[in-house]
Amino acid sequence: MSEINSNEDQIIEETVYTLDDCSPELRQVVKFEEVPAELIDMLVNVYKVSEPTSREAWNALPASAQNVLDNFEQFHSLVALSQSYSGVDFLGEMQDTKFPEDMGTEEQAEYKASMLDKVLVNCVKDMCKQLKKARRNPPMKREFTEIFQK
């Protein structure tokens, strides 16, 4: 019993990241897209945790699609931005969702987490599709490269 109480009394330290902790590519995306200050913390956290998934998707892309961008960091930055905006939109929509009365709080939380995960995975898939399209679409390719021009 004392172990349970001591675990409850422990303070969980929250790591606060800033754009300085991220790649220049993410900072460029933030600047180009004029990301609101209120979204920066979420964006940076999404960026930090989504790297393995983004890298897996990047590695699965054909080289011709990878060549639309200069490097993985550009891809990862675009994915993180997409996931952040989609996540905010999803969470906003979930505020108004009415759940069945027989669905418990834990079930609701699991449902929300599952649906959010699907939204985030779809962002990665969508970015991969867009890069594949951009290989053969010069105006679309230019849209990607404009973001990262100095």
Q: Which domain CATH number covers 68?
A: 1.10.3440.10
In a domain, 53, yes or no: yes
How do residues 58-69 score in pLDDT, each as one tens digit? Answer: 999 999 999 999
In a domain, 45, yes or no: yes
How do residues 22-35 score in pLDDT, each as one tens digit? Answer: 789 999 999 999 99
Of 150, 15, 143, give the one whose Cα is nearest residue 78. Answer: 143
In a domain, 15, yes or no: no
Long-range contacts of 45-51 (CB under 8 A, 24+ apart): 45/17, 46/80, 46/83, 46/84, 46/87, 47/22, 47/76, 47/77, 47/80, 48/17, 48/21, 48/22, 50/76, 50/79, 50/80, 50/83, 50/120, 50/124, 51/76
Which pLDDT score is estimated for 49?
93
In a domain, 48, yes or no: yes
Question: Could you list the residue range(s) of the whole structural domain that residue 32 is in?
Answer: 21-96+105-147
Under-70 pLDDT residues of the chain: 1-17, 150
The number of distinct structural domains making up the chain is 1
Which pLDDT score is estimated for 3?
46
In a domain, 55, yes or no: yes
In whole angstroms, what is the distance from residue 90 CA to residue 69 CA? 28
In a domain, 27, yes or no: yes
In a domain, 38, yes or no: yes
Which pLDDT score is estimated for 101?
87
In a domain, 50, yes or no: yes
